[in-house]
Amino acid sequence: MTENTTDQLTISVDAIKDALRIDGDQDNTLIQGYIDTAKEYVANAVLSDDGAGRLATDSKYKLAVLLLVQFWYSNRATDMKQTPYQVLSLIQQLRGKYWAV
């Protein structure tokens, strides 16, 4: 994925459904709940204040949220004990970027 492509990532139900190749609307509410929770999860892991708005345009933040939602949706029937490595790596990179600000 190129930087340009990553910049165009949107955090929406349709983006998740496209990534997971989901047809139909029966899981839209579930997916939206995952999106809302993942945004909060990543923002809380990166920032210690209420500055989550600063993350909204960051491509790494968007990708971390998208990956986390996809993981939660794909594994909703199993006992998940770990956050995917890719998400943790992106969170660490975001911490380095935003904690220094």
Task: Give 15-32 pLDDT, tens digit per residue.
Answer: 999 999 999 999 999 999
What average pLDDT score do residues 57-70 get?
94
- pTM of the entire structure? 0.82
More confident residue, 77 or 8: 77
Here the tokens at position 39 are 């945004």
Give the whole-angstrom CA distance, residue 80 versus residue 82.
6
What kind and span of H or E run contains 29? helix 28-46
Lowest average pLDDT, out of 26-30, 42-46, 50-54, 76-80, goes to: 50-54
